[in-house]
Amino acid sequence: MSLLRPDLYHTDVLAIDLESLRASGIRVLLMDLDNTLLPRDGSGITPEVRAWIEALPAAGFTGCLVSNNWHAHVEDVAADLGLPIVAKSLKPLPQAFRRGLAVAGATAEESAVVGDQIFTDVLGGNLLGMKTILVTPLSSSDLPHTLVLRRVERRLLAGREPLA
């Protein structure tokens, strides 16, 4: 089940060691939006997450949002953050991440996927050989099918605690 195993598991994006990622050759972060950077159905990006995103270029990273969300507001959030977005991406299908790589002008080897779901973000990134970083969801609010998958995720992560 290595396709369902993240390389790294963190409490949130703020806990990601960017220096270590950069030293390992990663220069692009393909990031999920809902429950990764902002709570699903939440009011907005927190100041701390906004500062983290704004610091990415100075740390040597290019960011791109890759989201299954199809609502118009995701384009507004991306524009507000100054990040390109691949919306309606159909993760975990490989073309979702290939589109993100094309937008970022990167290869899979120099990219990492950051997201809150094993069956979309981790699986999709692992299918293309990218580094995968799972973060704890920012809220318990989710779509019904995702809530079912969360139960399976808890079993897959049994005994593994996120790094703070």
CATH number at residue 61: 3.40.50.1000
- Residue 163, in any domain of the structure: no
In a domain, 162, yes or no: no
Give the pair of three-digit tokens for residue 54: 């704004």
SS (H, E, C) 30-48: EECCECCCECCCCCCCCHH
Place of tokens 């993240």: 6
Range of the domain at 148: 2-156
Per-position pLDDT tens, the chain of length 164? 599 999 999 999 999 999 999 999 999 999 999 999 998 777 689 999 999 999 999 999 999 999 998 777 889 999 999 999 999 999 999 999 999 999 999 999 999 999 999 999 999 999 999 999 999 998 766 666 777 777 778 888 888 888 87
Single pTM value for the model: 0.91
- Look at residue 47 and tell me if it is in a domain: yes
The CB density around residue 63, as the number of other CB atoms within 10 Å, is: 21
Between vectors from CA 146 to CA 144 and to CA 150, what angle results, nearest 5°? 120
pLDDT (tens digit per residue) in 31-65: 999 999 998 777 689 999 999 999 999 999 999 99
75, part of any domain: yes
3-state secondary structure of 86: strand
Question: Is 91 part of any domain?
Answer: yes
In a domain, 49, yes or no: yes
Tokens of 32: 């999920």
Count of domains in the chain?
A: 1
Determine, yes or no, domain membership for 81.
yes
**Any domain includes 164:** no
